[in-house]
Amino acid sequence: MDNGNAPNGRKGTYWLVGVEGKARKVRLPINTPLLIGRGASNHIVLDDPRISRQHARLAPEKDGAVIYDLNSANGTIVNGVAVSKHKLQPDDIIRFARYAFRIEHIVDADTPPGDVETPTLVATESVARMLVARESTGSGERHLVDLTQLEDAHQKLGTLYGFMKAISSTIDKGELLRLIGGKIREVYPLARAVAIYIRNSGGRGGGSFQLAHFTGASILSDEPALPDDVSEGLLTSAQAFLTGESPESTRAPGGTDMFAPMIDRGEVLGVIHVAAFENRAAFSKADLGLLNGMAATSAMMLQNTRMHDETLLRDRLKYDLELAAKIQKSFLPREVISVEGLELFAEYRAAYTVGGDFYDVFWVGEDKLAVFIGDISGKGVAAALLMARISSELRVAALAHVEPAAVMTAMNDAILASDQPELFFTAIYLTFDVKTGEINLANAGHPTPYWCRPGKPLEAITGGAASAIGILDDPGFIATSFCLEQGESLVLYTDGVVEAANARGSLYGSERLEDCLAGVTSTRPNDIAERILRSVEEHAMDTAVSDDLTLFICHRTSGRMATLQPQRRSGQMSAVNVPIPRNPVPSTEPR
């Protein structure tokens, strides 16, 4: 084709000739428009990230060849100058990043420049086809590529992108399924119906999938459901198929159907079923491939909605647990009271948000305080619910019977009468005469309390011990009595102290607790508690706590003392002046 005049006026053809690198193998006549760029749909494909997908266009025109820059990112350089449009002359040098080409003009009587040994890219008269010679191992092998395939791939990617963009606008599962079904019907206008099935948790075989969304001109059946053979085939192969191509399935009466599994991280989450109108074989392999791509995107978004729902559920559970913790704390004394001649300390630490440890202190007579500490079997929410019940019932029993053995017996009878064999608890209940210092104590399977006396050996209170409440019909509860003198302390605790474990699994144990208490130099409750808690923490280090921990310490002071008392607030102590009311007649009204 004649496309220009040489400087001497003779007719001829302009050629694009590579001069550097791999471009040296390019020799192309500029007799049809040529697209140059990084994208696969160009006539000349230059693999360099600095080159735009469609970088430039070479075109034969009336007076010769012209190059146009297509708004490229890094420009088209002719003879060292960036151009947007330039009429080419022989020996012009064109650069695209690291590639360089020279323009040559060949008159009709001449031969093409150089030896066209390995044409890297030769344009043909057809816009739909191009001949690409790819460099392979030791040869210049040619491959014929159909531009229609590239256009189809581009259209498919565009469809998938539009589909993903549409369904990613929501995190609500119901809305997501509606968008998936609606967009698929838009993509397949010949679809009679689109059904989306979600896999039952852990389901295998027939009945593994449940209909979650349906959209279409008519229902698939009276009870839309995936056939058992289709379910089994999808779970086994995890591949999309057209009805009739899978040996496990049979052709549906409504025409050719497509089934595509929604797979995320190797797990089949559901199935998309697209049904054609009757008597129409409407879907091809290409349609199935496109549906499979949309199913993969749908699976990813469906998993996102699941994670969102799980996050909402966790947040709700967290809120409920925090509320339960507040309610549980309302069953414990708001302040650990101090009265003239007596100082009390309490520390409560739940292993989880809520726990099963409990304690209480209240008046059961004009000069007599009742104290109890206990540990419900189990941990977490169940133990916390039982703790609320037990602490209330124990207070009622104490106000009714007062004496430790009678109170423990009444509680044991009540628990056995509830006919809940899994329910039992350990507890210590004692009464304390604030005038004389006399203590009557009964122990129902609870860890041994300790009596700390200045200048005397530590003493374990082993008397008054019996089995836990709720196990035996007649545990034979008894009480032991002793007098807490001025300057002495009684240390009560739950098994969260002695069963605190370190990273090696070694328990803190009673021996360490005795050594800790034997070394105290002050019997004041705050000093004893601080020493115990520090010793337990040093043993456990950073090991996660596995059991609730409660400390309760009674200390008889020397002489009159102020009613300054420690207050429990998330495990920290602060002083408040709140004297306990002393009712001459114990009240049985609920708190």
Same domain for 342 and 283: no
| Structure confidence at residue 108 (pLDDT) | 61
Which domain range does residue 177 map to? Answer: 158-216+225-307
Same domain for 233 and 189: yes
Lowest mean pLDDT among 121-130, 213-222, 532-541: 121-130
pLDDT more than 70, % of the chain: 75
| Structure confidence at residue 206 (pLDDT) | 56
Same domain for 353 and 297: no
Tell me whether residue 203 is in a domain. Answer: yes
Same domain for 340 and 294: no
Integer Cα distance of 553 and 344 in angstroms: 6
Integer Cα distance of 45 and 259 in angstroms: 38
| Structure confidence at residue 353 (pLDDT) | 59
Q: Domain count for the chain, please give it.
A: 3
Query: With 80 as the cut, is the pLDDT of residue 390 above it?
Result: yes
Higher-pLDDT residue of 353 and 537 is 537
| Structure confidence at residue 542 (pLDDT) | 78
Residue 6: which pLDDT band, with cuts at 50, 70 and 90? low
The helix/strand/coil state of 68 is strand
Higher-pLDDT residue of 431 and 275 is 431
Same domain for 503 and 366: yes
Lowest mean pLDDT among 206-215, 511-520, 580-589: 580-589
Handedness of CA 358, 361, 364, 369 (dihedral sign): positive
Opening angle at CA 257, ends 255 and 260, nearest 5: 180
Same domain for 524 and 456: yes
| Structure confidence at residue 226 (pLDDT) | 81
- The arithmetic mean of pLDDT across residues 30-59, rounded, is 86
Q: What is the pLDDT of residues 226-254, one digit of tens each?
A: 888 888 888 888 888 887 544 344 344 33
Integer Cα distance of 289 and 159 in angstroms: 12
Tell me whether residue 398 is in a domain. Answer: yes
Same domain for 285 and 204: yes
Same domain for 338 and 303: no
Both structure tokens of 328: 């549980």
Q: What is the pLDDT of residues 518-556, one digit of tens each?
A: 988 888 889 999 999 999 999 988 787 777 889 999 999
| Structure confidence at residue 528 (pLDDT) | 94
| Single residue among 274, 307, 340 that ends a domain in this structure | 307
Opening angle at CA 302, ends 299 and 306, nearest 5: 135
Tell me whether residue 587 is in a domain. Answer: no
| Structure confidence at residue 591 (pLDDT) | 34
- The arithmetic mean of pLDDT across residues 186-208, rounded, is 79
We report the CATH number of the domain holding residue 212 as 3.30.450.40
Average pLDDT, the chain: 79
Same domain for 377 and 447: yes
Instruction: Identify whether the C-beta of residue 105 lies closer than 8 Å to the C-beta of residue 4.
Output: yes
What residue has token string 């469906």?
Answer: 302
What is the chain's alpha carbon radius of gyration, rounded to the nearest angstrom? 43
Same domain for 299 and 344: no
Spell out the alpha helix ranges (H) of 126-215: 147-167, 173-187
Same domain for 302 and 338: no
Same domain for 175 and 56: no
Higher-pLDDT residue of 446 and 112 is 446
